[in-house]
Amino acid sequence: MQLSIALANLKPGTGKTTTAVLLAYALHRRGHDVALADCDPAGSALAWSDAVDGFPFAVYGLAVKDAGKRLAGIAGPKTLVVCDLPQAEDHGVIVRSVLRRVDEITIPVAPSTIEIERTSAIGDLLDEVAEVRESSARVSVLLNRVVGGARSGTDARQALTELGYDVLAPQIPRREVYALAYGMTPDIRGGDPIDLLAELYLTRAGLA
C-alpha cells in the first residue's frame, strides 16, 4: 500500500460511508489504483456498489476482527486503500484492528456541540490505539455537513483546534448532492470539496 485512510467515529450516521465512497472516487478520478475496504458489518459500501452495478475500483468486505491485518492482502504496492469503519461503540474490535495499521485516521464531525463533545471519547480510543502502534498515524478531524455562510462551521473549527485536533482545511458542506449520494453513481469533479480532500491526503503522503 502507498497510503491507507480510515474514516472513524464512535457513532453511526456521521457520514463515514458517504465520505469513504466519495473519497475513493476522487482518488480514482486522479488516476490512482484504489481499493475500498468495507469493514462495517452493515455492508453499506458493498450495497452501494451493487446498487450502481459496481464501483470503478475494487471493493472488499472486511467486517472481521482482524480487518487491519488483512488490509495488506487486498492492496498492491501502489494501491491507495480507503476504509469505511463501523461505529466504534458497537464494533470496537474491528475498529481497533484497522486503526492500528492505517496511515491516516480521520474523524468526520458535524459542527454541533454534541458532535464536538463526543470527540473526547474517540480521542480516548485513539490514545489506546497509539500505545500499540509501531509508528504514529496522522490523526485529523474532517468537518462534515457544514452549513454555508453559518458561523457554526467556523466556531466548530476553532473549538476542535483548541481541543488539540488537526482540523483539515477542506470541509464537506451540507449539500443535497451529498445527502442523497447513497445508491447513486458519484460525480466528483476538480475543485469539489471531496476532490480537495483527496488532494490533501495525497500531498500529506508525498504522492501529489
Cell of residue 98, nine digits: 484497522
Q: Torsions phi, psi of 119, nearest 5?
A: -65, -20
Percent of the chain past pLDDT 70, that is, above it, reads 98
pLDDT score at 178:
74
pLDDT score at 20:
96
* CATH classification number, 3-198, choose in 3.40.50.300, 3.20.20.70, 3.40.50.12160, 1.10.10.10: 3.40.50.300
pLDDT score at 204:
96
- Other beta carbons within 10 angstroms of residue 3's beta carbon come to 22
In the predicted structure, residue 41 carries a pLDDT above the cut 90: yes
Secondary structure of residue 75 in the 3-state scheme: coil
- Other beta carbons within 10 angstroms of residue 167's beta carbon come to 18
The angle at the Cα of 85, spanning 61 to 16, to the nearest 5 degrees, equals 115
pLDDT confidence band for 175 (50 / 70 / 90) = confident
How far, CA to CA in Å, does 173 sit from each of 15, 88, 178? Answer: 12, 24, 8
pLDDT score at 127:
93
pLDDT confidence band for 132 (50 / 70 / 90) = very high
In the predicted structure, residue 38 carries a pLDDT above the cut 90: yes
Per-domain residue ranges of the chain: 3-198
Q: What is the mean pLDDT of residues 187-199?
A: 93
